[in-house]
């Protein structure tokens, strides 16, 4: 292996913690040390010979310290290949070879966490340090880079074990760490600059990731890029799987619609809600949501917008489920729920969703704005002679939220703030409606007087015909079909109220 002896070093660090033993070892090895500012003073106080970078560059530190090392005599010494042509240029311009760079960058992320003062944050964007470690890392065949204080101990071990020599694989590994630090640092700066913009959704950078047991199926590998600790306290259970994460995402998106509502519970299976209900207490909301489809609830993901009390926990405990998400848990409730060690209990910190979505497909990635539109009463446009009552409007809006979170084609049937039944992911809207009505009948629900929502327009009047026959008297849909009039005419002839929103909510 290509060994290199360290003869000269440039040290410019923010944190001096752990630096002293490294400097003393370099001094023992008779390494010529250059340094800057506070680092220079620190080394001088140790009684170790050190040369100020200014004596090398013939320029003082200027612009309040913004420019210290950005000079050809520094970067020439770092970037020169140790071969005849480059060494001749170093000699011609009186540039010394620099064999080692030790840098610890300004604490940008720590500053962002500690203050909102923009000037203070900007001044902690390191320019010289990041340039030094990138230059040294690029020239790793001849130059050693120590890119942060986290590497001091390992580097000191290398120095002692090899008497000041380094091997190629050691230099290359340190270069790899340098570029990882550089990439993470730039990403943190990018996230701060784009905070509040659509790119905030991409804060879950490649530097925060967690390997999963497998993907959708055991033969597929998977990794989650993001930091779940920002959203949840994981209180109990096995490792969260790929499918868990997909369902959790769908659950949080749905419950975000009800974050300020009365006690609401939702049960999801394979990203689709099979039960949603709002009631005066969280216990009633749970029982009502479960009654919508107790079969599909088995092995599902549960989510609510209120603290789980003991009485509710006792009822939930009767069901096998994968994940339970809530803003909080009574101590007694948590003790009971934790008796089953594999079930995942998540305490959600805030019901919020990203405003931008990304999805990989073909040979690229598509980005879109998240569907954050939620219709309110003033958004509804009555298009029939009969207008919905106040109670029907409440159920229509509730159904519209539910269907927005069902895979297309989707139908939601709601009565008294309960999702009675749904049909989703069908190749025709008629199939979705028939499926919903069959499920309602299976679990003993009378849909007479219920509200029906469709996430997209009716291309034909067949859906309103089937709905009317079942007893549904109020319908909400976006409208926009060239045959809207056919559906409206049928409703007018049969006493059905229909409102349009003008907003489609496809979910693929």
Q: For tokens 């506070």, what's the residue?
A: 38
Angle between helices 128-138 and 168-193 (to 10 degrees): 140
**Do residues 288 and 259 make contact, with C-beta atoms less than 8 angstroms apart?**
no
- Give 244's contacts (C-beta < 8 A, 6+ positions apart): 301, 322, 323, 344
Using a 10 angstrom Cβ sphere, with 0-12 exposed, 13-18 middle and 19 or more buried, the burial of residue 60 is exposed
Angle between helices 484-494 and 462-470 (to 10 degrees): 20
Phi, psi of 76 (to 5 degrees): -65, -45
Calculate ∠ Cα 115-120-122, nearest 5°. 115
- Give 40's contacts (C-beta < 8 A, 6+ positions apart): 50, 52, 53
Q: Judge if the upstream peptide bond of residue 305 is cis by omega within 30 degrees of 0.
A: no
Neighbours of 412 (CB within 10 A): 30
Output the DSSP codes for 97-121.
---EEEEE---HHHHHHH---HHHH
User: Which residues are known to be catalytic?
Assistant: 138, 270
End-to-end, the C-alpha distance of the chain in Å comes to 55
Q: Which helix (H) or strand (E) holds 236?
A: strand 232-236
For residue 387, the 8-state DSSP code is P
List, edge to edge, every strand of the sheet that includes 381-382.
381-382, 497-500, 474-477, 451-454, 411-414, 419-423
Using a 10 angstrom Cβ sphere, with 0-12 exposed, 13-18 middle and 19 or more buried, the burial of residue 226 is middle
């Amino acid at each position: 292996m290509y060994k290199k002896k360290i003869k000269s070093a440039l040290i410019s660090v923010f944190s001096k913690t752990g630096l002293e033993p490294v400097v003393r070892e370099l001094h023992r090895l008779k390494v010529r040390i250059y340094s800057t500012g506070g680092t220079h003073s620190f080394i001088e106080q140790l009684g170790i010979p050190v040369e100020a970078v200014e004596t090398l560059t013939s320029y003082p530190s200027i612009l309040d310290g913004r420019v210290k090392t950005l000079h050809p005599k520094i970067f020439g010494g770092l970037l020169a290949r140790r071969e005849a042509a480059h060494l001749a240029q170093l000699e011609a311009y009186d540039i010394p070879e620099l064999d080692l760079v030790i840098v610890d960058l300004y604490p940008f992320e720590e500053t962002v966490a500690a203050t909102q003062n923009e000037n203070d944050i900007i001044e902690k964007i390191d320019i010289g340090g990041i340039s030094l470690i990138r230059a040294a890392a690029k020239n790793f065949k001849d130059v050693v880079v120590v890119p942060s204080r986290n590497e001091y101990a390992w580097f000191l071990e290398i120095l002692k074990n090899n008497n000041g020599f380094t091997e190629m694989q050691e230099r290359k590994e340190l270069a790899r760490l340098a570029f990882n630090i550089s990439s993470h640092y730039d990403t943190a700066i990018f996230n701060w600059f784009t905070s509040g913009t659509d790119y905030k959704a991409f804060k879950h950078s490649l530097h925060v990731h967690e390997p999963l047991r497998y993907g959708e199926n055991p033969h597929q590998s998977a990794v989650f890029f993001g930091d779940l600790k920002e959203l949840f306290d994981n209180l109990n259970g096995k490792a969260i799987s790929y499918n868990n994460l997909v369902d959790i995402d769908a659950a949080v998106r749905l419950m975000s619609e009800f974050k300020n509502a009365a006690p609401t519970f939702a049960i999801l299976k394979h990203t689709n809600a099979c039960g949603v209900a709002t009631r005066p207490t969280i216990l009633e909301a749970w029982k009502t949501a479960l009654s919508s489809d107790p079969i599909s609830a088995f092995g599902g993901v549960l989510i609510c917008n209120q603290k789980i009390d003991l009485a509710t926990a006792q009822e939930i405990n009767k069901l096998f489920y994968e994940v339970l998400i809530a803003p909080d848990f009574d101590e007694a409730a948590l003790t009971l729920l934790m008796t089953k060690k594999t079930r995942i209990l998540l305490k959600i910190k805030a019901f919020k969703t990203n405003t931008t979505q990304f999805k990989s497909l073909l040979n690229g990635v598509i980005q879109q704005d998240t569907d954050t539109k939620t219709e309110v009463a003033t958004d509804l446009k009555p298009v029939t002679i009969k207008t919905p009552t106040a109670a029907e409007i409440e159920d229509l809006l509730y159904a519209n939220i539910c269907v927005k979170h069902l895979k297309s084609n989707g139908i939601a049937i709601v009565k008294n703030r309960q999702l009675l039944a749904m049909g989703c992911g069908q190749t025709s809207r008629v199939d979705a409606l028939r499926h919903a009505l069959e499920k309602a009948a299976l679990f003993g629900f009378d849909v007479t007087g219920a509200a029906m929502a469709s996430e997209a327009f009716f291309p034909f009047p067949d859906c309103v015909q089937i709905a009317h026959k079942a007893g549904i008297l109020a319908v909400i849909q976006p409208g926009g079909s060239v045959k809207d009039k056919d559906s409206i005419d049928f409703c007018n002839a049969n006493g059905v109220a229909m409102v349009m929103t003008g907003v489609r909510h496809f979910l693929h």
